[in-house]
Structure 1
Amino acid sequence: MRSWLVLVLAVVVSCSAQHYNRYDNFNADSIIQNDRVLLAYYKCVMDKGPCTKDGKNFKRVLPETLSTACGRCSAMQKLVVRKLLLGIRSKSEPRFLELLDKYDPERSNREALYNFLVTGN
């Protein structure tokens, strides 16, 4: 259940190729498997706890990542982001929706985001 939290954070880190190339080889599985780390990242991006440097970076790029359906992500980043979002969704649909509602409250990009999750494009 906490694994989806790390997934969200990993998504943010994985995005924005021009700014976060160092995350191209990001190991999302290691975060997903560590409930403590996952929960800490989730609390950070949801404004429910303190943030690490990476957490702050995730939080900063998450709105653009969700609003563009990872439009500025590299091919590798798209794979990671998609994996993380699908993992979060499978662990907790209500928390997944809570995250989307926080960063896309008008639901202006839900169709494109869901299409990205299905197709990877």
Structure 2
Amino acid sequence: MRSWLLCVLALAVVVYCSAQHSNRYDNFNADSIIQNERILLAYYKCVMDKGPCTKDGKNFKRVLPETLTTACSRCSPKQKLVVRKLLLGIRVKSEPRFLELLDKYDPQRVNREGLYSFLVTGV
């Protein structure tokens, strides 16, 4: 009985932590990043291994490969909005940097068409 209770408690902690992580960037202000060239460039350098990373930068860098190759399929609607704004912001500011980012994290262009569709439609 005691080991069963410990298993249930451990499962509850895992579910709570994953829920916290999945909602972590729901209220992230992508517009403030896009409007500030210096901050946008710092995030870009982080995810491209060309500069230091903040805690948020490290987290973005960790999820970026899956996000790009699946067109944010596991993202919540709010997260999709944030990802879409950031990617479009990078693309508007510098198409070459945007393409370099895609080539780094999706070199085989596995889902390039799906990613472009996501950027256009948000779905």
Shared fold, TM over 0.5: yes
Q: Which residue of 2 aligns with 1:5?
A: none
Which of 69, 72, 82 in structure 1 is aligned with 2:71? Answer: 69
Q: How many residues align?
A: 106
Cα-Cα RMSD: 1.7
Matches within 5 A, 1:104-115: 104-115=106-117
Distance 1:84 1:76 in 2: 13
Determine the structure 2 residue equivalent to 1:120: 122
Q: How does 1:1-121 map to 2 (within 5 A)?
A: 19-121=21-123
Quick check: 109-118 or 75-84, which moved more? 75-84
**Amino acid of the residue matched to residue 75 of structure 1?**
P
Choose 1 or 2 for highest CA Rg: 2
d(CA) in 2 for partners of 1:89, 1:32: 10
Residue 19 of structure 1, CA deviation:
2.9
TM-score normalised by L of structure 1: 0.80
* Structure-2 residue corresponding to 1:7: none
Structure 1 residue 18: Cα displacement: 7.0
Greater helix content: 2
Q: TM-score if structure 2 supplies the norm length?
A: 0.79
Q: SS where residue 22 of structure 1 aligns? A: coil
Q: What amino acid is aligned across from residue 98 of structure 2 in structure 1?
A: F
**Could you say which structure has the greater relative contact order, defined with CA pairs below 8 angstroms and 6 or more residues apart?**
1
**Does the Cα contact within 8 Å between 1:65 and 1:71 map onto a contact in 2?**
yes
